[in-house]
Chains A and B, each alone.
Chain A
Amino acid sequence: MSAIVPVPPNTLRRAGRRAGDWAPAAAVLVAGILVWQGLVTAFDIQRFLLPKPTEIATALRENWTFLRHAALYTFGEAVAGFVVGSAVAIATALLLARWRPLGRALLPYAIAANAIPIIAFAPIFNNWFSLVSPIPKIAIAAVLVFFPVMINMLRGLTSVHPSSIELMRSYAAGEAATFRRVRIPNSLPFLFSGLKVASVLAMIGAVVSQYFGGLRTTSLGLFIKEKAALALFPEAWAAIVLASVLGVAFYLAIVLVERSVLRWHPSVRGARAG
């Protein structure tokens, strides 16, 4: 009988339950920081091994103006790489799904290319463009993003129930209509799992490629490298924390978009059903 009763919206209770869902994770975060602080103090751990959270917080405050600027710039590079890489990946997946022989010819190379450690190209890319230009960083992030997005999207476009295609054929639908009404909607959950992986990779690509050089005022990566070399560990850690927070924020932003786009999907259903 339960299937027959329309589900009431009950927004308030859902919001309360969502806050309840987050509480344990937040408690773990706070506890983790406290334990960190406590252990470092109790065992008098050397600063170069692990600074105290309070020292990192101080370094963060003292360097805030610089760090904020560099972090936002780095984040901008990551986002630009993400957008370019994802766009090219989605277009490629559509092409390969539409013309299967093309896919069979190119896919082995795409998979082989994925095995290449892209980050190793960072110094080369810096030479191709310019050391102080954001383009090599964006390019590294874009190349990193490309593969997981392309392969997930392609899988989503091609793993369609045969009867779904027969149904479209019974309506005398052409390829374009079948893509628009079946293959593309079917691929969206796959696309989003690719994009979530990609958001993390884009941030890694941007920060790590800055290790190989860049404009000092705009590079979180260069800052981490230089402060670590000068034994200014709390400063390096402050930049790492900032990069991590931005990475998590980027990931969560993708999750939010996913939830609103895929209201019908099991992962979102699960979140709603609690």
Chain B
Amino acid sequence: MPRPAAVSLGGVSKHYAVPGGPGVTALAPIDLDVHPGEFVSLIGPSGCGKSTLLRIIGDLVQATEGQVLVNGKPAHQARLDRDYGIVFQDPVLYDWRTVARNISLPLEMLGWDRQRRASRVAEMLDLVELGGFEGHYPWQLSGGMQQRVSIARALSFSPALLLMDEPFGALDEMTRERLNGELLRIWQQSGCTIVFVTHSITEAVFLSTRVVVMSARPGRVIGIVEIDVPQPRTVDTREEPRFFELVTAVRERLRKGGAAEAEAQAEAELLLVEEER
């Protein structure tokens, strides 16, 4: 039996009702399959609904229409089964917990005993290279280290799927590139599937196996770019011609999306003018 898609979206849309108005369509119907082990980035201008789409996959926001399957089951069931880990733009660490206890939070929720938790936390600290910091509180760490704790927490219970919402968006460029490299290593070691939201083109191309390009309001998929840069990717990857070609390809898709949007808007305005006549 073939493995079910890690994420399968069928005609997923999101519409926000506005009292006394027609409402806002945040996402036009979207179809997308993410295969197990893939690293898929969602990229688009701000307000294109990519974070909303990620939250719909995680059953944190309800889709207005369409079917969302995670590991072959409805997203709601997948959330109840703790099928995914999530990393937000802010690390969202609990200030009152040490690094070790932040990482073990999901393990507590799963009812693991103390000993099992401790050994997993040690493994996770190794994975994100934060050995020796288990007793520190979040405020004692830099932003990049906090985000590594957040990643360790998301992976601590070995979910098959990792959802990441602009996790490195608040970090400086150098830290971001270093963490990009670390994330790829972690992805390869853990074998999990990653859905990654970003608005950085180079980040999306460097990390992903596929980049899903989205347009703004209403958010919809306007192109999918296969990233065939070989693994493992290193610092040198960023200087390869193929890398630049793909960055350009993604950028052009984004620009075309913007142009199409502007055209659609101009058309709508023209219609209005004609109606007024």
- The answer to whether A161 and B86 touch (CB under 8 A), given A3-B141, A7-B140, A170-B60, is no
Bound-state CA distance A186–B97 (Å) is 11
Contact among A170, A262, A269 for B79, CB-based, below 8 A? A170
- By the criterion CB–CB under 8 Å, are B79 and A169 in contact? yes
Encode contact with A along B86-121: 1 for CB under 8 Å, 0 otherwise. 101010101111000000011011000000000000
Give the interface centre of A161, A170, A181 by most chain B CB atoms within 10 Å.
A170
- By the criterion CB–CB under 8 Å, are A161 and B90 in contact? yes
- By the criterion CB–CB under 8 Å, are B92 and A161 in contact? yes
What residue of chain A has the Cβ atom nearest to residue B137's Cβ?
A264
- By the criterion CB–CB under 8 Å, are A182 and B94 in contact? yes
Bound-state CA distance A257–B94 (Å) is 21
Give the interface centre of B55, B84, B96 by most chain A CB atoms within 10 Å.
B96
Bound-state CA distance A241–B143 (Å) is 50
- The answer to whether A169 and B60 touch (CB under 8 A), given A7-B140, A163-B90, is yes
Contacts of A7 on B, CB cut-off 8 Å? 140
- By the criterion CB–CB under 8 Å, are A164 and B94 in contact? yes
Contacts of A169 on B, CB cut-off 8 Å? 60, 79
Decide yes or no whether B29 CB sits under 8 A from chain A. no
- By the criterion CB–CB under 8 Å, are B84 and A170 in contact? yes
How far, in Å, is B228 (CB) from chain A's closest CB? 32
Decide yes or no whether B145 CB sits under 8 A from chain A. yes
What residue of chain B has the Cβ atom nearest to residue A269's Cβ?
B139
- By the criterion CB–CB under 8 Å, are B140 and A185 in contact? no
Bound-state CA distance A262–B132 (Å) is 23
Contacts of A167 on B, CB cut-off 8 Å? 86, 88, 92
Encode contact with A along B18-57: 1 for CB under 8 Å, 0 otherwise. 0000000000000000000000000000000000000100
Number of interface residues of A (CB under 8 A): 24
- The DSSP consensus for interface residues of chain A is helix
Bound-state CA distance A199–B105 (Å) is 35
- The answer to whether A172 and B82 touch (CB under 8 A), given A161-B90, A164-B92, is yes
Bound-state CA distance A173–B108 (Å) is 11
Contacts of B92 on A, CB cut-off 8 Å? 161, 163-164, 167
How far, in Å, is A264 (CB) from chain B's closest CB? 5
What residue of chain A has the Cβ atom nearest to residue B55's Cβ?
A166
How far, in Å, is B78 (CB) from chain A's closest CB? 10
- By the criterion CB–CB under 8 Å, are B136 and A185 in contact? no
What residue of chain B has the Cβ atom nearest to residue A263's Cβ?
B137
- By the criterion CB–CB under 8 Å, are B109 and A177 in contact? yes
Bound-state CA distance A166–B133 (Å) is 26
Decide yes or no whether A265 CB sits under 8 A from chain B. yes
Bound-state CA distance A173–B106 (Å) is 10
Decide yes or no whether B80 CB sits under 8 A from chain A. yes
Using a CB–CB cutoff of 8 Å, the interface residues on chain A facing chain B are: 3, 6-7, 161, 163-164, 166-167, 169-173, 177, 181-182, 185-186, 188, 262, 264-266, 269
Using a CB–CB cutoff of 8 Å, the interface residues on chain B facing chain A are: 55, 58, 60, 79-82, 84-86, 88, 90, 92, 94-97, 105-106, 108-109, 132-133, 136-137, 139-142, 145
18 contacts between A and B (CB under 8 A): A3-B141, A6-B132, A163-B88, A163-B92, A166-B88, A167-B86, A169-B60, A170-B82, A170-B85, A171-B82, A171-B106, A172-B80, A172-B81, A172-B82, A173-B109, A185-B94, A265-B96, A269-B139
